[in-house]
Amino acid sequence: MVVIKHIKAVGRFVSGHLKANQPKGKPQATASPALQALTVAALALPGLMLPAASAAEEDEVDFQYSHYEEGQRDLYGAKSTLHPIQVDSVLGKARVSLSDRIKFAFNYVQDTWSGATPYTTSPLAAGGNEPIRQNTASGKTIVTGASPITETQMYLSKNFVPVAFDTNTGKRLLRTLQPVHVLAMASPETRKQGDFKLGYEWDEAALNIGGGLSVEPDYVSSFGNMGGRLDFNQKLTTLDFGLSYTNSDTSAIMDHDAEPYVIKTAFAQQIQQTGGLSIIHGNRQDWAGSLGLSQILNKNAVVTANIGYTHSTGYMNNPYKAVTIIFADPTSLGSDPSHPQALVGDVKTFLEQRPNERNQFTTGSRYIQHIGFADAALHLDYRFFHDDWGINAHTFEADWVQPIASTWTVTPKIRYYTQDAANFYYPYIISKQAFSKTVITGYDANDLPITTTTAYNPNKLPANFSSDQRLSAFGALSGGVTINKKLSKAISLEAGFEYYTHAGSLKLGGGGDGSYSDFNYYLVNGGLNINLDALGGGGGHDGHHHDGHHAQPPAGVMFGHMLKKTNDIMVGYRYMYSRQAGDMLHGTGVASDKQIQNHGCVQGFTGYCRVTPAYMDMGMHMLDIMYAPADWLNLMVMPQFMDMDMDMRPLKGVTVNPIQDHLHGGHRTGGIGDTGMYALFKMFDNDIHHVHATVGLSAPTGDVDIMIRRMHRKDNGYLHYGMQLGSGTWDFKPSLTYTGQLDDWSWGGQFSATTRMENHNGSGYALGDVFQTTAWGGYTLTRWLSASVRGIYTVQQQIDGQFNPVSGTDSLGNTVSNVNPGSKANYSSGPMDYPTSYGGRYWDVGFGLNFTVPSGTLKGNNVGVEWLQPVQDNVNGYQLQREGAFSATWSVMF
Amino acid sequence: MIAKQTQAAWIVIVSALGLSACAPVSPWQRGTLAKSSMAIEPTPMQTMLSEHTHNSREAASANSSASGGGCGCY
C-alpha cells in the first residue's frame, strides 16, 4: 500500500535523523508512537489539491444525514400556509484499498425534498397569490392560504406601471413595479445517486477514473471523469488535473395545475403528449476541465490555486419555472370604461427560455496557515466565477479549525457570496403590445364585419428570459460550525450547522434584486466516520477481532447475533428493498378489477374504488450501532431512513376524471423513519448453541402526517397509509433468537414481534401488530464465504382506526369537514386508502450469502446479501402481490 | 466595476502564487502541515454537503469536475 511505502521512506529518514541521539542498535521499526503518528500524518500530504485524493489515503466508511429547510417567503400580505422547501438527505461513502496501489471509492446519496418554491414572479398588482377562501359554518369567509394565479388581466398606468383598484369602491390601491413571487407546491421527490472512483497510485503520482449516475423521476444524469496528481519538488509542489463529461436527460411531466395556463410554444418540438399529460424532453451535455497547484510555503503554511472551465450545451432550463409577461397594448387605454386612465394588460406565463450554450470559468485560491499559540489552522478561500450569461461571482470563505483536548475539533466557518444577474434575468416582463388583437378589416356583402386576429409578435420579446432567482443579482452571507469528536482511533462523530441568508441588498457594490426575493435556510447534519485503517492497523488491541469463522446469520435477520466481549463495538449498515407489483390479490387469489371496484372501497362516499396500485417500491437505509457494556448485555440503536414510490392505475370500467383521479407519475415520499433502541440479553451460550432475548422500543420519529398537495384548487387530505414513513406509535419489539454452529454448518431460528403500545397515532390510526417466525441453515463454503437458506412466516394484522378527517376546501371553495380520499369532496380512492386492505399472512424463502474479509486491512469486515422470494401471500382486503425483497448488510466489529 | 472585480481577483491569485517562491521544507519539518486541521479540506463531509446546497441555490458552480448533483429543480 502506498501509504505504508511512504511511511517506510520517511520512517527511515526520521530514524536516521534521530539516530545520533539514540542508543545504537535500536531497531528502526520501533520509533516512538508520537513520531510514528507524526510521520504518518506528514505523509497524508500528497494529493493536496483534491480533497478526495488526499483523503483517499485512508480506508474509511462515512455515513451522514442532513436536513435542509428554508424560511417562509415574504408574499406582501398574501397568506401562504404552504411549507417551504425542505430536503432530507443520506450519504454513504466507502473508500478501500484493493491493493497497495489500487484504491476504490464509492458514494451513495439520496435526497428527498418537498415544499413550496417560487414558480414565477409577477407584479404585486397582478394578485398572483390568490387568497384561498373558506366559507365557515357561521357564514363568514376566512382566508386559509394562497393559490397561484398565472393567467389573468390587470391594469397598468399610461406609463406601464402596474396598478390595482379596489373592486368595490374603484379606488386605486396600488401603483408600483413591486414584484412578488408566486409560490407553487412541489410534491415529495427523491433523487438517488451512486458514483465510484478507481485510482492507481505511484510514489509521486496518481491517476484515477470515475463515473456515476444520478436518477430523479424527471432528470437522469450520467457522468464520467478522469484525473491525476503529480508531486514534484520533493513533494513541496503538487499539480492536479481533471476532465469530465456529463450527459443529462430531462423528461418532466408538466404540473397539471399550471400546464393549461403556461405558454410553451418555444418548446413545441420537445413536448410529447401522452394520456393527457405533457412531458417536456431535453438533453444537456457538459464538458469540464480543471487544473490545480498546491505549494507548501513553509512549515506552517500551504497555498493552493486552481482554474476550471466548463462548456455546457443543450436544455438548461428548469421545466418548473415560468416567466410572467404582461402584454400591455398602448391602444387599450380606456378600453375599460370604469378605469379610463388605465391600460388593460394580459398577464401570461411562459416557460423560461435560457440560452442553449454556457461557458463557465472559475479560478480560486486557498491559503492555510497554522496558528501556533492556539494550535489551530486558519483557512482562507477565495473563488471567482465568470460565465457568458453575464454572471460574475465572488466567494470568500474563512474557516478556523480548532482542535481541543486531542479528541475534539471545532470549526467555525463564515462565507460571503455575491453574484451579478444573468443578462436574460427579469423578475417579470412588460411587453408593449397586445397578446392578441382582433380588428375589423371590412364588411362582407351582408354587412357583417370581417375580422382579423393577430397574435403578439415574439420578436418583440427578449430571445431568452428567466425569473429564476438563482440568476438574479444578490449576495449571501452564511455562517456555521462543525464539531468533530473522536470516540476512538477508528470512530468519530461529526455534527454541523449552517445558517444562510440570501438578499439582494447583500450584493457587492449594490444593485441587487429587491427584497421580495430574500430568503434564508438552515442546514444541519450529523455523521459517523469509521477509519478502517485504524481498525486493521494493529493499534495494540490484539485479541480484539471477532472470529472470522464465526457464522453470520442471513442478511435479512435482525438481532441475529451478539457481541461477545465487554466493551466490544459493532457498526453496521443495513439496506432493505422490497417491491410489490403485478396482480392485485384478495386472500390468496387474484382479484379482478370488477371485484376491487365493487368491494375494495365500500366505506367511501361512492362506495366503490376508482383506482388501484400499479406498483410500490420501498427502500430502507439503517444504521446499526451496537455496544456491549457487559458480555451478557448488548445495547443497540438503529436509526432509519426511508424512501417509497407508488403509482396507481384506473380500474377497468371507470371513466377517468382528470380532476378527481391522480393517476400519473405516482407519489413519492422519503425521510427519517422510526428509530429503534434495543437491549440484547445472553441467555445461554456454549461452543455450539447460543440463545439470546431482545427487547426493543421503536420511537415514532417517522412522519405519519404526509398529505397529498392541493391540486385543481381543492385539498386532498392524507396520502395512503402505506406511504407514511413510520408507525406514528411507540412500538414494543421483543424477539428470541437461537443460533447454532458445528464445523462448517450453522443454523438458527427466531421469533419476533412488533406490538403497538398506543391505540392510535397522531393521525388517528395504528398499524397492525406483526409476528414473525423464521428458521435457517447455513454452510461455510470457504474461509470467507458462506451460504444460507431460510424460511419465514409472517402475520400482520390490519390497521386499527383510520385517518382523522381533514377539513379543507372543495373545488367550489366551500369548507368541508373531510377531504381525505374516499370522502365526498375527494371521492377517488383505492383499496390502499382503507385500513382493511393492510396486513396478511405471508410465506417466504430466503437465499443468502455472507462474505467475511479474512485478512488484510479490511479483516473482519462482513458483507451479507439475501433475497426473499415470496411463496404465498394471503392478504387482508385487496393488496398488490409482493415481488420480493432484498437485504444487504455491512458490519465491522471493534 | 466588473472589470475591476476581475482584476482584483487576478491580483489575489497571482500574489498567492507569487508567495510560493519559498524556502524548502524538509520532510521532517512537515509535522505541523500534517495535522488534520491543516488538511486542504478539514471537514470533507460537511463541505460536500454545503457545496451541493450552494450549487442548488447559486449560479456559480463551486467546482468544474463532474460529480453529479442532479437537477436541483426546486
Q: What is the predicted pLDDT for the residue at A52?
A: 29
This prediction has a pTM of 0.81
- B35, closest residue in chain A (CA to CA): A41
Confidence of residue A539 (pLDDT cuts 50, 70, 90): very low
- For residues A270-280, give the mean pLDDT: 81
Amino acid in position A160: F
Distance from CA of A280 to the nearest CA of B (A): 14
Q: What is the pLDDT of residues A306-335, one digit of tens each?
A: 999 999 999 999 988 999 999 999 988 888
- B 43-72 near A (Cβ less than 8 A): 43-50, 53-54, 57-71
> What span, in angstroms and rounded, lies between the C-alpha atoms of A363 and A59?
31
> What span, in angstroms and rounded, lies between the C-alpha atoms of B52 and B54?
6
- Chain A residues with beta carbon closer than 8 angstroms to that of B54: 417
Among the listed ranges A18-27, A142-151, A434-443, A527-536, which one has the minimum average pLDDT value?
A18-27
Q: What is the predicted pLDDT for the residue at A603?
A: 81
- Chain A residues with beta carbon closer than 8 angstroms to that of B28: 10, 13-14, 17, 42
Q: Is A236 in contact with B46 (Cβ distance < 8 A)?
A: no
Q: How much is the mean pLDDT over chain B?
A: 73
Q: What is the predicted pLDDT for the residue at B8?
A: 65
Q: What does the buried/exposed string (b/e) look like for A509-521 if buried means 16 or more CB atoms within 10 Å of the residue's CB?
A: eeebbbebbbbbb
3-class SS of residue A260: helix
Q: What is the ipTM of this complex?
A: 0.80
Q: How many CB atoms lie within 10 A of CB A139?
A: 6
- For residues A34-58, give the mean pLDDT: 40
Select from A51, A234, A525 the Cβ nearest to the Cβ of B44.
A51
Q: Is B16 in contact with A299 (Cβ distance < 8 A)?
A: no
Select from A14, A115, A214 the Cβ nearest to the Cβ of B28.
A14
> Higher pLDDT residue, B48 or A618?
A618
- Is residue A54's pLDDT more than 60? no
Strand ranges in A757-861 using DSSP code E only, listed in sequence order: 765-766, 770-780, 785-796, 800-801, 808-809, 815-816, 840-852
Q: Is B64 in contact with A113 (Cβ distance < 8 A)?
A: no
* CA A592 distance to own-chain centroid: 37
- For residues A787-809, give the mean pLDDT: 93
Distance from CA of B63 to the nearest CA of A (A): 7
Select from B31, B40, B67 the Cβ nearest to the Cβ of A38.
B31
- Is residue A425's pLDDT more than 80? yes
CA distances from A231 to A59, A209, B39 (A): 21, 18, 16
Q: Is A52 in contact with B66 (Cβ distance < 8 A)?
A: no
Q: Are A48 and A54 in contact (CB under 8 A)?
A: yes
Select from B34, B48, B66 the Cβ nearest to the Cβ of A41.
B34
Q: What is the pLDDT of residues A580-616, one digit of tens each?
A: 999 999 999 999 999 999 998 888 788 888 889 999 9
> Higher pLDDT residue, A538 or B45?
B45
Give chain A's end-to-end CA distance (angstroms, integer): 22
Q: Is B40 in contact with A319 (Cβ distance < 8 A)?
A: no
- B18 CB near a chain A CB, below 8 Å? no
> Higher pLDDT residue, A147 or A336?
A336
Confidence of residue B74 (pLDDT cuts 50, 70, 90): low
Residue among A753, A748, A841, A737 nearest A789 (CA): A748
- Is residue A2's pLDDT more than 50? no
Q: What is the predicted pLDDT for the residue at B15?
A: 59
Among the listed ranges A84-88, A776-780, A821-825, which one has the minimum average pLDDT value?
A821-825
- Chain B residues with beta carbon closer than 8 angstroms to that of A476: 57-58
pLDDT above 90 coverage of chain A, percent? 58
Q: What is the predicted pLDDT for the residue at A304?
A: 95
Select from A42, A386, A401 the Cβ nearest to the Cβ of B34.
A42
Q: How much is the mean pLDDT over chain A?
A: 86
- Is residue A803's pLDDT more than 70? yes
Q: Is B74 in contact with A85 (Cβ distance < 8 A)?
A: yes
Q: How many CB atoms lie within 10 A of CB A652?
A: 11
Q: What is the pLDDT of residues A676-729, one digit of tens each?
A: 999 999 999 988 999 999 999 999 999 998 888 777 667 788 899 999 999 999
> What span, in angstroms and rounded, lies between the C-alpha atoms of A42 and A533?
16
- Chain A residues with beta carbon closer than 8 angstroms to that of B20: 237, 295, 297, 303
3-class SS of residue A571: strand
**Separate counts of helices (H) and strands (E) for chain A:** 5, 47
> Higher pLDDT residue, A814 or A446?
A446
Q: Is A117 in contact with B71 (Cβ distance < 8 A)?
A: no
Q: What is the pLDDT of residues A112-171, one digit of tens each?
A: 888 888 889 999 988 877 777 666 667 677 666 677 777 888 999 999 999 998 888 888
- Chain A residues with beta carbon closer than 8 angstroms to that of B39: 44, 51, 54-55
- Chain A residues with beta carbon closer than 8 angstroms to that of B18: none
Q: Is B60 in contact with A382 (Cβ distance < 8 A)?
A: no
CA distances from A498 to A151, A410, A478, A592 (A): 38, 14, 7, 53
- A64, closest residue in chain B (CA to CA): B45
CA distances from A638 to A202, A559, A678 (A): 41, 11, 8
- B4 CB near a chain A CB, below 8 Å? no
Q: Take residue A435 and report the three cell numbers written for it.
A: 397578446
The β-bridge partners of A280 are A252, A271
Q: Is B49 in contact with A91 (Cβ distance < 8 A)?
A: yes
CA distances from A547 to A30, A61, A493, A776, A893 (A): 29, 21, 27, 21, 10
Select from B29, B66, B70 the Cβ nearest to the Cβ of A299.
B29
- Is residue A225's pLDDT more than 70? yes
Give the best residue of B37, B41, B53, B54 to mutate against chain A (max A CB count within 10 A): B37
Helix crossing, A2-19 with A33-42: angle to 10°?
A: 130
DSSP assignment string, A473-521:
-EEEEEEEEEEEEE-SSSEEEEEEEEEEEEEGGGSTTS-PPPGGG-EEE
Provide CB contacts within 8 A for B60, sequence distance 6+. Answer: A360, A362, A383, A385, A387, A391, A393, A395, A417, A419
Q: What is the pLDDT of residues A166-191, one digit of tens each?
A: 888 888 888 999 999 988 887 788 89
Q: What is the pLDDT of residues A366-419, one digit of tens each?
A: 999 999 999 999 999 999 999 999 999 999 999 999 999 989 999 999 999 999
Among the listed ranges A102-116, A225-239, B24-38, which one has the minimum average pLDDT value?
B24-38
The β-bridge partners of A309 are A289, A361
> What span, in angstroms and rounded, lies between the C-alpha atoms of A770 and A797?
7
- Chain B residues with beta carbon closer than 8 angstroms to that of A318: 71, 73
- B3 CB near a chain A CB, below 8 Å? no
> Higher pLDDT residue, A352 or A217?
A352
Distance from CA of B17 to the nearest CA of A (A): 7
C-alpha angle with apex A163: A159 to A165, nearest 5 degrees? 140
